[in-house]
């Protein structure tokens, strides 16, 4: 079965399995768009719980993968020994405390407390301590596929794909290498890395998850020729984004210029 790397907001839907008539843990069949972070919110558990119950060593899950989403039968959260774990993370271009907290399954408050931060501002190259509770003995339901690829790797793949089309001319309604409009370009690039998004800027806006500040791979939206989101591109970091411009074709622009800064609506993510 072809595995598809997943990103963004969770979709509900799970089934129950039983063995020899005994009650068992709830199982969620992964769908396109699911993430561990989104599932943790849907089922009111932690990302670390989901990783432990399913033998996952990273944040990536795959279409049709079956995940245990509560404590397996015969176990209770109180019975699982826990140990405090601390690791370090070096801030990269496009990172935010919110994004880092989502990656490691901790809260923004925990990150700020562990690092003596009084605001949400972080800088490239800064080393952050990430402290949380990880199960020392992980209860499991059944062996699962443990192949992983991080969301940051997926974002890097997206950006690398996006840059392949630098200089392709702009074409209204275009969605091929002979010419793109802005949403046609986004849909084409995302599809190339296995992520499905809608065709128009407005529907992409509705199908993505808001983030407080953009990180590499997120989609940045602008209000240009009409009210509401009417133009979009892929954020690269350092206030740069790549998009299909009506004047220059596929190009990289600076969000801090007066034109784009005045029209910026916000950032949303598929990761």
Q: What is the pLDDT of residues 67-87, one digit of tens each?
A: 888 876 555 444 444 455 678
pTM: 0.48
Active site residue 55: no
Q: Which of 28, 215, 243, 270 is catalytic?
A: 243
Domain of 246 in residue numbering reads as 153-269
Residues 265 and 182 in one domain: yes
User: For residues 122 and 169, is the Cβ–Cβ distance under 8 A?
Assistant: no
Task: Examine the pLDDT at 187 and tell me if it is beyond 70.
Answer: yes
Give per-residue pLDDT as tens, 18-31: 333 334 568 898 88
Tell me, yes or no, whether 193 lies in a domain.
Answer: yes
Residues 90 and 10 in one domain: no
Tell me, yes or no, whether 221 lies in a domain.
Answer: yes
More confident residue, 232 or 90: 232
Residues 21 and 101 in one domain: no
Residues 182 and 254 in one domain: yes
Phi, psi values for residue 226, rounded to 5°? -150, 165
Residues 184 and 255 in one domain: yes
Per-residue CA distances from 10 to 17, 101, 169, 238 (Å): 21, 17, 36, 29
Active site residue 28: no
Of 88-92, 175-179, 250-254, least confident by mean pLDDT is 88-92
More confident residue, 29 or 145: 29
Task: Examine the pLDDT at 11 and tell me if it is beyond 90.
Answer: no
Task: Examine the pLDDT at 176 and tell me if it is beyond 90.
Answer: yes
> Domain tally for the chain?
3
To the nearest whole number, what is the mean pLDDT of the chain?
Answer: 79
Q: Which residue has the tokens 């084409």?
A: 188
Q: What DSSP designation does 167 have?
A: T
Residues 86 and 68 in one domain: no
Give per-residue pLDDT as tens, 234-261: 999 999 999 999 999 999 999 999 999 9
Give the domain-ending residue among 24, 40, 73: 73
Per-residue CA distances from 63 to 4, 142, 157 (Å): 6, 18, 19
Tell me, yes or no, whether 145 lies in a domain.
Answer: no
Q: Which CATH number goes with the domain that contains 108?
A: 3.10.350.10
What's the pLDDT score for residue 111? Answer: 84
- What order do you get walking across the sheet with 66-68 strand by strand? 15-16, 26-29, 66-68
Residues 127 and 179 in one domain: no
Tell me, yes or no, whether 143 lies in a domain.
Answer: no
Tell me, yes or no, whether 219 lies in a domain.
Answer: yes
Task: Examine the pLDDT at 210 and tell me if it is beyond 80.
Answer: yes
Mean pLDDT along residues 96-117:
81
Nearest to 154 by CA among 54, 48, 270, 31: 270
Mean pLDDT along residues 218-239:
96
Tell me, yes or no, whether 64 lies in a domain.
Answer: yes
Q: Please report how many Cα atoms fall inside a 13 Å half-sphere around the Cα of residue 204, on the Cβ side.
A: 30
Active site residue 243: yes
Tell me, yes or no, whether 144 lies in a domain.
Answer: no
Q: Which of 231, 237, 241, 267 is catalytic?
A: 231
Residues 67 and 87 in one domain: no
Q: Which of 9, 36, 69, 182 is catalytic?
A: 182
User: For residues 122 and 95, is the Cβ–Cβ distance under 8 A?
Assistant: yes
Helices (H) and strands (E) in the chain, counts: 8, 13
Cα Rg, the chain, nearest whole Å: 20
- Structure tokens of 137? 């003995």
- Structure tokens of 45? 């558990």
Residues 229 and 158 in one domain: yes
Highest mean pLDDT among 5-19, 96-110, 178-192: 178-192
Residues 204 and 160 in one domain: yes
Task: Examine the pLDDT at 65 and tell me if it is beyond 80.
Answer: yes
Per-residue CA distances from 238 to 15, 44, 124, 183 (Å): 43, 35, 10, 22
Strand, coil or helix: 237 = strand
Task: Examine the pLDDT at 262 and tell me if it is beyond 70.
Answer: yes
Tell me, yes or no, whether 125 lies in a domain.
Answer: yes
What's the pLDDT score for residue 152? Answer: 60
Task: Examine the pLDDT at 141 and tell me if it is beyond 50.
Answer: no
Which positions ≥6 away from 164 have C-beta within 8 Å? none
Residues 69 and 91 in one domain: no
User: For residues 210 and 268, is the Cβ–Cβ distance under 8 A?
Assistant: yes
């Amino acid at each position: 079965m072809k595995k598809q790397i997943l990103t963004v907001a969770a979709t509900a839907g799970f089934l129950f399995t039983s063995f020899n008539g005994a009650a068992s843990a709830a199982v969620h069949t992964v769908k396109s768009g699911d993430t561990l972070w989104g599932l943790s919110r849907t089922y009111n558990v932690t990302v670390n719980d989901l990783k432990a119950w399913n033998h996952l060593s990273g944040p990536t899950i795959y279409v049709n993968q079956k995940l245990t989403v509560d404590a397996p039968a015969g176990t209770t959260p109180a019975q699982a020994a826990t140990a405090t774990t601390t690791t370090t993370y070096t801030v990269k271009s496009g990172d935010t405390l919110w994004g880092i907290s989502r990656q490691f399954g901790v809260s923004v408050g925990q990150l700020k407390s562990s690092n003596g931060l009084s605001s949400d501002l972080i800088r490239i190259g800064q080393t952050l301590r990430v402290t949380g509770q990880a199960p020392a003995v992980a209860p499991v339901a059944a062996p699962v596929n443990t192949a992983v690829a991080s969301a940051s790797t997926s974002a890097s793949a997206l950006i690398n794909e996006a840059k392949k089309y630098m200089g392709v001319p702009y074409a209204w309604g275009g969605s091929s290498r002979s010419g793109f409009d802005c949403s046609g370009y986004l849909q084409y690039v995302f599809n190339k890395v296995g992520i499905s998004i809608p065709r128009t800027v407005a529907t992409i806006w509705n199908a993505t998850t808001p983030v407080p500040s953009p990180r590499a791979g997120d989609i940045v939206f602008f209000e240009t020729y009409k009210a509401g989101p009417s133009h979009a591109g892929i954020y690269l970091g350092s206030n740069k984004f790549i998009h299909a411009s009506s004047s220059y074709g596929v190009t990289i622009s600076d969000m801090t210029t007066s034109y784009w800064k005045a029209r910026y609506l916000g950032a949303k993510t598929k990761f």
